[in-house]
Structure 1
Amino acid sequence: MPGMVDTHIHACQYSFAGTALDLPLFQWLNAYKFPAESRFEDLEFACSVYTQVVKRTLKNGTTSACYFATTHTDASLLLGQIANSFGQRALVGKVSVDNAAKDYTETYQESKEETCRFVEELLKKTYPLVRPVVTPGSAMSCSGALLEHLGEIARSKNLHIQSHISEVKEQVKIIKKLFPESESFTDVYHKHCLLTDKTVLAHGCYLSDEELALFRQTGASLSHCPNSNISLRSGMLDVRKVLNHKVKLGLGTDVAGGYSASMLDAVRRTLDTSKVLSIQNPDYHTLTFEEVFRLATLGGSQALSMDDRTGNFEVGKDFDALRVNVAVPGGPIDLFQSDGPKIRLEKFLNLGDDRNIVEVYVAGKKVVPFTEPTDITE
């Protein structure tokens, strides 16, 4: 099957994945996120975490990942090096913030200079499958001046852009106060030239029809992160509504607000969210597993504007693929005589795990099972 695409994952937060899920978003940020991310000034610690998250996601079938790192430039460059060493296709973002929590922010000048250094140095590496992505933490954590500068960097270098949008209702209210001249959260990004056909914004639980129309108009994408939306009690994205607006959409694990780094979990939580919405509204058109399978593969590639190279098996594209054995000895799936290909796929999506993923290929190269790279600390 085609490789899976994680359109939103905080690589740095893998250090506490599976824990710290007892608080809603804003309390969670201050209690867990900011203190954990401050540790990435230590490159030895960063190397340990980033090596493990790249290995874990590859083992679970993530051939392409769009990573948030931290504000630390050298550690962010290290993440790019590690993804390249293991052969993962990756967008890597050094986070830019000048209006975040006290003690966990940069000045405008620091953020401007370090973002430029990160982009220049990562591009200079000329990694075949790893590229920088311009990464404002969110419109809430950046000044208008910094957002404008980041938009200019992305435009001048033709780079991807990633951030967050409309994750919780309170966030939408704060944005209105911070940017009274903008009509909406989406309009803030649009006014600062950060809404392009290479933009992917995570969550979007509270977007209006007008905002979705602006996404469609600009070619920007949404990353649906259902595990995080539920775990941090943020909200539930109506994926059907987004698709009806013809907005590009992929799935994200959003580690560590989402507790699992597996895209199979993102598939399952997407289906669960759709079913909950159909409980609330009996007329709701529930997503099918085939639709969600597409979102985890080609949909993710489209969201990251990589579908010219990957996402399915069209002739001429790179071979990003998983070899799945649904009947692997000791695995989680039991098969019976009448189980045809479609049933096997559905069983894998609902029951499978990394034991079933016996080989992973990125751009035609077998990357799982691993051949340990030797150049990570060079």
Structure 2
Amino acid sequence: MSQNLVICGNFVHATNTEYMIVKEGYCIGVKEGKILFFEPKDRLEECIKNHQLEACEIIRLNPFQFLMPGMIDTHIHASQYPNAGKGLDLGLLEWLNKYTFPTESRFKDSQLASDVYSKVVSNTLRNGTTTACYFATIHTDSSSLLCDQVAKHGQRALVGKVNMDQNSPDFYVEKSDDSLAETKRFVEDVLKRKNPRVQPVITPRFAPSCTVGLMQELGKLAKENNLHIQTHISETLDECEWVKALFPEAKDYVDIYDQAGLLTSKTVLAHGIYLSGRERKVIKERGSSISHCPNSNLSLRSGLLDVQQVLKDGVRIGLGTDVSGGYSPSLLDGIRTAIHVSNTLAIYNKEYKPITHSEAFMMATLGGAKALAMEDTIGNFEVGKEFDALTVNINAPGSHIDGFDDDGVSDYIQKFLYLGDSRNIEEVYVAGKKVIPVTDAQ
């Protein structure tokens, strides 16, 4: 059950006009999972009275603590979690065939699926991911088990049963009709649960693994049910050349998805490293978004995404861990690696202005909410949104962060983004419910 509470202390979040805003000495009121007020602490008594929160718990953070919105992973393969941190010696297409497809094919085993999915949901929550956009596998029933684990642990998620009906190994492929029928069954199963924090997402793996007919039918299914859509795009040069050969009638990679009805305001496209200006323009016009996965892009040597250009073009962009192409399930790693990728581009172009921790922070929070078309519900501390938040303590036991006399709140926040880890994330709230630390009552 969601808690009614008031928290007083220091806060940081992003808004539509600023990548990062620090609010010192503020208080936030939460009732039935939603934010009632976010005001300077000298208005605390007035706010409590006006919102009838007299009986609720009041939490006062110490000077080493601050509150930030929960982080939003816009692209992660839950089924690849067993491979996280191994098998990164190949490029994307070889890597898929040698490591990834064999691992995913094992998820027809429901016990394996349940065990792995419990671990990945638990671990991402501990690392501050309150919302995740998950790829599962082609297996309908085990994909539903991922929904079970998300609900059990209290996370917010989009969960996708993967579609693959061509150019896939014999042991891990579907017939077109079966792929569509099973996707409909999965969608019906998730929707009938009526859990507002666990939603289905239509998931064609990427254009090479799906026939045009299947993609078109998936586009219709998404439109009929107003569903989210996720897939990959322009991750490597080899992949882009393969796509040209497979779809010679298309203008470009984006056009394949556009013609199939898969580019909507609820579509997130992972990677997008080699998109042309025309493609980014179409993505913006459709209201679709990009998930930047810097760890994966470096680990598989896919390429360097120019985030500044994406931001300049007005395309919505969030961060993804892309486990297990990305070896870390922590979006803190995503924040740091995104900055490093941008710095690398600046090394080779002295005129280039790299992103800072502020832009990366925005992409991990409000940017992710926008990328998943959830900005009306989550992403920052605006009144009316659901309270997804992290209590961060730079002075937590075992912390790698040291504070000094001349450090202010902004310094603590920056140090956490560069030096922090799960030890510094003391509490995790999703829709007002404390899900970390886990208690016996949960």
For Structure 1 versus Structure 2, the TM-score category normalised by the shorter chain is over 0.9
User: Are 2:154 and 1:87 aligned?
Assistant: yes
- For 1:28, the aligned partner's letter is W
The equivalent of 2:76 in structure 1 is 9
Cα separation, 1, equivalents of 2:419 and 2:398:
13
Cα separation, 2, equivalents of 1:302 and 1:45:
33
The equivalent of 1:269 in structure 2 is 337
1:24 aligned residue (83, 91, 94) = 91
| Offset, 1:330 | 1.9
User: Are 2:154 and 1:77 aligned?
Assistant: no
User: Are 2:270 and 1:202 aligned?
Assistant: yes
Cα separation, 1, equivalents of 2:291 and 2:374:
14
- For 1:328, the aligned partner's letter is A
The equivalent of 1:297 in structure 2 is 365
User: Are 2:134 and 1:67 aligned?
Assistant: yes
| Offset, 1:19 | 0.6
Which secondary structure does the structure 2 equivalent of 1:294 belong to? helix
1:283 aligned residue (335, 343, 351) = 351
Closer, same or farther in 2 for the Cα pair 1:78/1:371, shift >3 Å? farther
| Offset, 1:373 | 8.7
Cα separation, 1, equivalents of 2:397 and 2:236:
43
Q: Deviations over 1:162-219 (max 9, x none)?
A: 0000000111111112222210100100000000000000000100000000011000
- For 2:101, the aligned partner's letter is F
The equivalent of 2:106 in structure 1 is 39
- TM-score (structure 2 length as normaliser): 0.84
The equivalent of 2:247 in structure 1 is 179
Closer, same or farther in 2 for the Cα pair 1:373/1:201, shift >3 Å? farther
| Offset, 1:334 | 0.7
Q: Deviations over 1:195-252 (max 9, x none)?
A: 0000000000100000000011000000000000000011111000100100000000
- For 1:287, the aligned partner's letter is I
| Offset, 1:273 | 0.2
Q: Deviations over 1:83-136 (max 9, x none)?
A: 011110100000011012332110101101111100011111111200000000
The equivalent of 2:416 in structure 1 is 348
- For 2:291, the aligned partner's letter is S
Cα separation, 1, equivalents of 2:240 and 2:266:
23
Cα separation, 2, equivalents of 1:330 and 1:35:
38
User: Which protein shows a greater Rg?
Assistant: 2
Which secondary structure does the structure 2 equivalent of 1:6 belong to? strand
Q: Deviations over 1:33-71 (max 9, x none)?
A: 000001101111101100000000000000000000000
1:107 aligned residue (159, 163, 175) = 175
The equivalent of 1:260 in structure 2 is 328
Work out whether residues 86 and 373 of structure 1, in 8 Å CA contact, stay in contact via their aligned partners in 2.
no
- For 2:300, the aligned partner's letter is L
The equivalent of 2:206 in structure 1 is 138
The equivalent of 2:164 in structure 1 is 97
1:124 aligned residue (192, 210, 234) = 192
Unaligned 5+ runs, structure 1 = none
Cα separation, 2, equivalents of 1:264 and 1:103:
36
Percent identity over the alignment is 55
The equivalent of 1:326 in structure 2 is 394
- TM-score (structure 1 length as normaliser): 0.98
Cα separation, 2, equivalents of 1:285 and 1:101:
43
| Offset, 1:372 | 6.6
| Offset, 1:329 | 2.3
Moved over 3 A (4+): 371-374
Work out whether residues 5 and 300 of structure 1, in 8 Å CA contact, stay in contact via their aligned partners in 2.
yes
Work out whether residues 85 and 373 of structure 1, in 8 Å CA contact, stay in contact via their aligned partners in 2.
no
Work out whether residues 86 and 372 of structure 1, in 8 Å CA contact, stay in contact via their aligned partners in 2.
no
Which secondary structure does the structure 2 equivalent of 1:355 belong to? helix
Closer, same or farther in 2 for the Cα pair 1:21/1:295, shift >3 Å? same
Worse overlay, 94-103 or 65-74: 94-103
The equivalent of 1:149 in structure 2 is 217
Cα separation, 1, equivalents of 2:289 and 2:216:
20
Work out whether residues 95 and 137 of structure 1, in 8 Å CA contact, stay in contact via their aligned partners in 2.
yes
Q: CA RMSD in A?
A: 1.0
Q: Deviations over 1:251-300 (max 9, x none)?
A: 00000000000000000110000000000111111101111111100000
Greater percentage in strand:
2
Cα separation, 1, equivalents of 2:367 and 2:136:
23
